[in-house]
Amino acid sequence: MTLAVFAYRRFVPYDPILAAKMERTSLAERYVMDGDINAALAEYEAARAIDPSDTDILIWLGLLYERQERSREAQETFAEAERLVGGRAEFLVMRGFAYGQLGDVEKALADGQDAVALNPDLAQAHLVLAGAYEVQGDARRALEELEITAQLAQKDGNDSLYVIAKTRQAMLMQSSVAGMGSP
């Protein structure tokens, strides 16, 4: 372990800007988990000042602005994130994942559906749908979307996404069988 830390410090240069941004986003994520939207927003705004082109930060700012009913700022921030991501479907996937993390299943599902409508071959869009269906308790549809995700990921040569989809599929099947109970 000590050797790994030494090697990391020796061969990976320390970036104080990246470290500051990571510290801010880490704190923001913790505040989001604790439900402290104001503190999370302050940390994400500080992180944005460090790196205004980070699309994840912009998406989280947009979501938090929405939570505070600051719709104009949310829309402007989302528009900037979409511009930087380079495509509507990809932006919707990123925002859909973030909505899912916030527990806003309806918005995650809507973004996933819109992303699939724009690009049916975007594996990550199907993963957003799978997560939303799973949270809603619709195991059948979640399994279908995970299978589509796996097939598209395999076709694209995205091995890590393929493994994620298949692992989640197996876990969902296992929990569905376990939840059936005795006859």
Q: Supply the pLDDT for residue 16.
A: 82
CB 149 within 8 A of CB 171: no
Give the model confidence (pLDDT) of 100-141 as tens digits.
999 999 999 999 999 999 999 999 999 999 999 999 999 999
Return phi, psi of residue 181, to 5°: 75, 180
b/e per residue, 105-123, with b = 16+ CB within 10 A?
A: bebbbbbbbbbbebbeebb
Enumerate residue ranges in the chain where pLDDT < 70.
1-12, 177-183
Delimit the domains of the chain by residue range. 14-86, 87-178
Tell me, yes or no, if the two domains 14-86 and 87-178 fold the same way: yes
CATH topology of domain 14-86: 1.25.40
Q: What is the largest CA-CA distance in the chain?
A: 61
pTM of the model: 0.86
Q: What is the secondary structure of 120-133 as a DSSP string? A: TT-HHHHHHHHHHH
Q: Which overall architecture, per CATH, does domain 87-178 show?
A: Alpha Horseshoe (1.25)
Q: Supply the pLDDT for residue 18.
A: 83
